[in-house]
A and B are shown apart, each in its own frame.
Chain A
Amino acid sequence: MSQDLTRRTVLAVLAGGAVFLVKKANGQIVWQVNAARCINSRLGEVGVEACNLCTTECVVALSAVRAVNEYSKCGRCNICPAYFNITSAVNELGQPSEKLCPRDAIARKPIGKVDPEDPANNFYEYIIDEEKCDGCGKCVMKCKEPLGLGSITLRVRYDKCVNCNRCSISRACPQNALVQLPVGQAS
């Protein structure tokens, strides 16, 4: 009886593995960044440097991981800590004089009814240029609560990802934040 159970268990594992490989071969299993594990977006991690392993470890040039701004969560702030280096000197407009993104991949534009007299009296849209972004995570770290609202997260861009069997970022990530999911469960 126990031998039979063991055989069945082994067969089930093998069958599961086979199904997984077939799905992966068909592009139905994809790598994804788990935002709740990633140190750049995980709540409670404050006062630490942004992790840039997604930039340095990916086999794809410029990395398949990019920062994505979810507009429904964005505060559309005048002073966005993911856009500006908020510890740089204040300029004549009352804004930080430096941008945060080392690749200048975030654009800022006023939206809605614009008050030209007072920049603080407007809403702003922050658009990430994914062709420039290399997923360094700096903006993600500054956007998360409590400093921001956590609208920016790192995502694997499936048109860029070559879907390695063992993602090199996942091997390097100390948080095990790179996970494989069926396409239907991936965001």
Chain B
Amino acid sequence: MQYRQVQTIDGKGALRGIAVDSRGQLYAAGDSEIKLFDAAGRLKQRWPTSRPALAVAVARDGAVYAGEMGQIEIFDGAGKLLRTWRDETLLGRVTAIGFSKDSVLAGDAADRAIRRFDGSGEFLNNIGKDNPVNGLLIPNGVVDFAVARNGAIYAANPGKHRVEWYTPGGELLGHIGRFDGIDPAGFTGCCNPTNVAVRDGIYTTEKAGPRVKAYDFSGNLLAVIATHPFNPNCKNMSIAVDSHNRVYVVDTEKLAIFVFEPVTTV
């Protein structure tokens, strides 16, 4: 399978996390704001967050969740603040947010774990913490995960060169990935992949050098989506996939989002 770059979106500032909603709108967290781009990549709206925004996710009801240091801010689709969940311990540094059935998941990089909350913000359980190293191995300082349609939580575990998947209750179900500095099917460097997305497959980004790949759920490499045009100093490149399997990837140095789509052969 091959991909081609079809779009470059000016990120209008720092880009820590991105998300795509069901209408193809793109949300970006960075600096102390959330930016909303329409499907054509035009900046439609931006609104401030009370602390630097590190992650963003859109719930089924259209609410926009912003991950920050010590808190999650919840906005309506127009950027009006609805609620703030504040917990300096459980939400130390929220670098990813997702939804699994009725629960809200937050990646807490400060404690190297994924926190699961109910819809009202009550803590339920940790994910990825019950192991000998007491959490995900993230020398890069970011917990990133994505939720599959079946509710499984796919987490990047870069120090192990794996993507692991868990039940919402925190049980480890399996993993793909291995270290390899030569074979592109493996993950290279000290700690890759740093970021992950899930739709019809598993999508990953790596740092040093920047690389975007797609795997099937058995861990077979489907495609090296791109190694260019990223700045070689990029790291923690947030990734999202829309309903048309277009892949959105952040360049943290060029402050841009590159969009790739599968090339269909006739």
Taking beta carbons and an 8 Å cutoff, which residues of A are in contact with B? 43-44, 46-47, 75-81, 86-90, 94-96, 112-115, 120-123, 145-149
Cβ contact of B191, chosen from A46, A77, A88, cutoff 8 A: A77
CB contacts under 8 Å to A, within B147-172, are: 159-162
CA distance A67 to B65 in the complex (A): 44
Is A87 a contact of B233 with CB atoms below 8 Å?
Answer: no
> Complex formed: what's the CA distance from A112 to B132 in Å?
9
CB contacts (< 8 Å) of B234 on chain A: these are 146
Q: Is the interface of A mostly helix, strand, loop or mixed?
A: loop
A contact residues around B131 at 8 Å (CB)? 121
Residue contact B159 to A94, C-beta cutoff 8 Å = no
Is residue B40 contacting chain A, with contact meaning CB distance below 8 A?
Answer: no
- B residues less than 8 Å from A94 (CB atoms): 178-179
Given A86-B181, A94-B178: A120 and B189 within 8 A (CB)?
A: no
- In this assembly, does B48 line the interface, its C-beta being within 8 Å of a C-beta of chain A? no
In the assembled complex, B1 has its CB within 8 A of some CB on chain A: no
B87 interface contact, C-beta 8 A: no
How would you classify the secondary structure of chain B's contact residues: helix, strand, loop or mixed? loop
Please indicate the chain A residues that have their CB under 8 angstroms from the CB of B183 in the complex.
90
- A–B pairs, 14, beta carbons within 8 Å: A46-B208, A75-B159, A75-B191, A77-B137, A87-B182, A90-B178, A113-B132, A120-B159, A120-B162, A121-B131, A122-B132, A122-B133, A145-B233, A146-B232
Specify which of A75, A89, A121 lies most central, judged by the most chain B CB atoms within 10 Å of its CB. A75
Partner of B190, one of A43, A81, A115, A121: A81
Residue pair B132, A90 in contact (C-beta under 8 Å)? no
Task: Answer whether residue B207 sits at the interface, using C-beta atoms and an 8 A cutoff.
Answer: yes
When distances are taken between beta carbons in the complex, the residues of chain A under 8 Å from B132 are 112-115, 121-122
B115 close to A (CB within 8 Å)? no
What chain A residues lie within 8 Å of B180 (beta carbons)? 90
Query: A80 touching B190 by the CB < 8 A rule?
Result: yes
Given contacts A44-B233, A147-B189, 19 further A-B contacts (CB under 8 A): A43-B233, A46-B209, A46-B232, A76-B139, A81-B190, A87-B181, A87-B182, A90-B181, A90-B182, A96-B179, A96-B181, A112-B132, A122-B133, A146-B207, A146-B208, A146-B233, A146-B234, A147-B208, A149-B190
Min CB distance A6 to B, Å, is 48
Pair count A-B, CB < 8 A: 82
Q: From known contacts A75-B191, A77-B191, A112-B133, infer whether A121 and B182 are also in contact, taking CB-CB under 8 Å.
A: no
CA distance A115 to B137 in the complex (A): 14
Given contacts A94-B179, A115-B132, A121-B160, contact A86 B188 (CB under 8 A): yes
Residue of B nearest to A120 (CB): B160
B235 contacts A by Cβ under 8 Å: yes
Kindly list the 9 A-B residue pairs having the minimum CB-CB distance in the complex, ordered from nearest.
A75-B139, A147-B208, A86-B181, A146-B235, A120-B160, A77-B190, A146-B208, A115-B132, A87-B181
CB atoms of B161 and A81 under 8 A apart? no
User: Whole-angstrom distance from the CB of A150 to the nearest CB of chain B?
Assistant: 11
Check B189 against A79 for contact (C-beta < 8 Å): yes
Q: Is B186 in the interface zone, CB < 8 Å from A?
A: yes
CB atoms of A78 and B160 under 8 A apart: yes
Asked if A123 and B133 make an inter-chain contact with CB atoms under 8 angstroms apart, the answer reads yes
Chain B residues in 8 Å Cβ range of A75: 139, 159, 190-191
**Cβ of A146: which chain B residues have Cβ within 8 Å of it?**
207-208, 232-235
- Whole-angstrom distance from the CB of B264 to the nearest CB of chain A? 34
Chain B residues contacting A123 (CB-CB under 8 Å) are 133
Chain B residue with the shortest CB-CB distance to A84: B181
Judge whether A78 and B159 touch: CB under 8 Å: yes
- Cα(A146)–Cα(B131), bound, Å: 27
Closest Cβ–Cβ distance, residue A45 to chain B (whole Å): 9
Q: Tell me, rounded to whole Å, the shortest Cβ–Cβ distance linking A118 to chain B.
A: 8
Chain B residue with Cβ nearest A46 = B232
The listed residue (A47, A114, A149) touching B139 by CB distance below 8 A is: A149
Cα distance A114–B131 when bound, in Å? Answer: 11
Interface residues of B in 189-235 (CB under 8 A from A): 189-191, 207-209, 232-235
CA distance A80 to B181 in the complex (A): 12
A79–B190 Cα distance when bound, in Å, is 5
Q: Given A75-B190, A121-B132, A47–B232 Cβ distance below 8 Å?
A: yes
